[in-house]
Amino acid sequence: MVVGDFPIETDTLVIGAGPGGYVAAIRAAQLGQKVTIVEKATVGGVCLNVGCIPSKALISAGHRFEDAKHADVMGIKAENVTVDFSKVQEFKNGVVKKLTGGVEGLLKGNKVDIVNGEAYFVDANTIRVMDENSAQTYKFKNAIIATGSRPIELKTFKYSKRVIDSTGALNLTEIPKKMVVIGGGVIGVELGTAYANFGTEVTILEGGDDILPGTEKQMTTLVKKNLKKKGATVVTKAMAKGVEETDNGVVVTYETKGEEQKIEADYVLVSVGRKPNTDELGLEQVGIELTERGLIKVDKQCRTNVSSIYAIGDVVEGPQLAHKASYEGKIAAEAIAGEASVVDYLAIPAVVFSEPEIATVGYNEAQAKEAGLDVSAAKFPFAANGRALALNNADGFVKLVTRKEDGLVVGAQIAGPSASDMIAELGLAIEAGMTAEDIAMTIHAHPTLGEITMEAAEVALGTPIHIVK
C-alpha cells in the first residue's frame, strides 16, 4: 500500500457500470446499502456505448432509408433518396449520450459513489482501484463482479483499420460499398442487415450449418430470404482462413465445400463471439473458481465460492444478454441484503433485430420434449392479420408451445415486425403460469399485431377464427 492510501470503506462494491452493474448498484442502494461502483471506461458499459443501443439506432436509420426507397406500393415515391452518414452517426451518438447521462444521473440520485479506474482484488474484502495517476484501496463487505465481455479476436484476423469488431462497425465514418461479415450470429446478422439497408453489398460467412445457431429453421429461412432481397449473400459451412489488407480494402480468403475462395471488400467485420472479462481482475488472489471458458462459477443467488463476492452478466454462464445481466444484478443485490431471491431463467426472452425480427422465450418444441414435457405447437401467421397487412410487413408467425394436459404456456417463438415488443406478453404468460385459454380469453385491441398472440392461443385450443382449422 502506498503512503497516504487510506482504505475507503463501503458496504457493496460493484465492478463494472454496464446494464448488470449499474442496476445492481441502484437496487443495493434502494435496499439501504452504501454502494460504490467502479468503471474503467464509460458508465453504461458495452450495451449503452458500443452495443445494444447504438446498433439499434443504426438499424432504425437503415429501416428509414429502406422504407423511403421502397414505399411505391403505398403510392409514395421519393426520388434521389440519400444518406448523410455523418448525420446518422450524430443521431446514434446523441441517443447514446442521452442514455449514458441518464444512467449517471440515476446512480448519483441513488447516492451511489462512482469511481473511475481498474479494479484488482487484494483479498476477499479488499480491492485496489487504479487509474493513470493514482491508486486507491477500498474495503467492502460484499462485491459484485459485472465486468462484461469483449469480442473474440481471431489469430488470422487481427483487428486493424480494415479488420473491425462490432465497435468498429458502429463507428464507421462511411457506408462501405462492400463488407464481409465473419460469423452469422446475432451481432453479424444485425449489423450485416443494417449496412445492407444502407446499400452495402454484404457477404456473411458462417462456419456452421446455418446462421443464428440455435434458432429454429422456420425463422432463419425468413431472415435469409430478406437478406437475399437486400442483395446480401449468406455462405454457410464457410471457414474463414485469412485476410490480406490493401491500400483501400481487404481480400478475405475462405474455404467452402473443399474449395478456397477469395472475396474483396472495404471492411471485414469479425463477429465470432465474445469472451468474459475475468482475466485482469486478480481473481486468483481470492481463489474464485472459474470454468474452462473463464466464466465465474456462481450459485442461484449469483454468489461465487467466496461468500463475500458475487458475479453477474457475461462473466457467468448463460446467454450474453443485457436484460439477463440486469435481472441477475437485482438478484445479487437482494441476496446481499439477506432476501431469499434466486435466479429463474425460464421466462428470459432473446431477441434478434434482424428482418423480420425474431424473439423467443421459454422452450421451443425440441427443448420442451428434451425436458420431458408432452407438448404441442400452435402457429398463427402475420399474413392473416389486418395490422400486419396495413404495415405492408406480413412475413412471419407467432408460435405457442403448450403442455398437452392443461394448455400451460411453456414457450413461444415470434418472427415478424415488432416481435421484440410482442414477446413480453408471452414472457409474462410463462412467468405467471398462464394457459392458452387465459391468453385467448384476454381481449386484444383491434387492429393490432398483438391480436396474433390471441389468435395463436385460439389455434392451440382448436378454435381459430381467422384461419381455417
Is 446 catalytic? The answer is yes
Q: How far is CA 425 from CA 74, 173, 314, 439, 446, in A?
A: 31, 39, 26, 9, 16
The alpha carbon dihedral of 37, 42, 48, 52 has a sign of: negative
The set of long-range contacts for 63-66, using a CB threshold of 8 Å and a minimum separation of 24, is 63/197, 65/197, 65/198, 66/197, 66/230
In sequence order, the 6+-apart residues with CB closer than 8 A to the CB of 158 are none
Q: Which three cell numbers stand for residue 135?
A: 491508486
Q: Which three cell numbers stand for residue 130?
A: 487504479
- Using CA atoms, how far apart are residues 6 and 113, in angstroms rounded to an integer? 17
- Using CA atoms, how far apart are residues 436 and 457, in angstroms rounded to an integer? 5
**Catalytic-labelled residue, pool 70, 323, 444, 446:** 446
- Using CA atoms, how far apart are residues 16 and 38, in angstroms rounded to an integer? 6
**Vertex 319 angle, CA 317 and 323, to 5°:** 110
401: left (phi over 0), alpha (psi -120 to 50) or beta: beta
- Using CA atoms, how far apart are residues 212 and 183, in angstroms rounded to an integer? 9
Give the residue from 13, 7, 9 showing the smallest Cα distance to 308: 13
Q: How far is CA 160 from CA 165, 315, 371, in A?
A: 9, 26, 45
State the catalytic residues. Answer: 446
